[in-house]
Chain A
């Protein structure tokens, strides 16, 4: 079964750091571009970051540029999001998402991991 499972969320103080992980299974992870998307409580979806299969091309949304870092370890079938300088407005559910290259579609989503930034 094709699956993405996020972990690493939790409660963190403003200004703090956190690393999210996403474990992929059921497909050849290195062949796929991956994304992080978040959803604040009661709000819509916000795209955060993208990384190619090899990791050589990376994009960020302006809202997280300079604070968040996306990375991947294809040997471990894992995607990561290192978050620093966290703010209250970063409170959200964070989704790991697979992209179908030819279709550019976000076809597989993880269940999400909740990050709460609060003192």
Chain B
């Protein structure tokens, strides 16, 4: 069971806006940055959001991240079929001295 908690699944129709949440604690999300990774089927993960809300070059502005207290969210607007993937949040945990990943959220585009 992951220390960072994500809903196992999410879904939406093309064009919709969906939000994926990630819940942690004061020793990880509450005190450090949150990162989001997208893993398309059969591929390696890809950095999607860093430092809570920053997008690497090449990531569409349809993807946005936010953080409040010990929780974080990834929002995807204008949902497209190619967004169907697993999404993972991640954060450094100061007390465990470990990087943590959430259990992942499988996004289905209906």
Chain A interfacial positions (CB closer than 8 Å to B): 35, 37, 44-47, 50, 59, 61-62, 95, 100, 103-107, 109-112
Contact = CB atoms under 8 A, between A and B. Distances in A.
Contacts, number: 59
Interface of A, secondary structure class, is strand
Given A44-B2, A104-B51, A105-B51, A111 B101 contact: no
B101 A44 contact: yes
Nearest to A104: B33
Residue from the set B46, B86, B98, B99 with the largest chain A CB neighbour count within 10 Å: B99
B90 A106 contact: yes
A35 B51 CA distance: 18
Contact of A109 (B44, B86, B98): B44
> Which range holds the interface residue count of chain B?
20 to 34
A44 B90 CA distance: 12
Contacts of A103: 50-51, 54
A109 B45 contact: yes
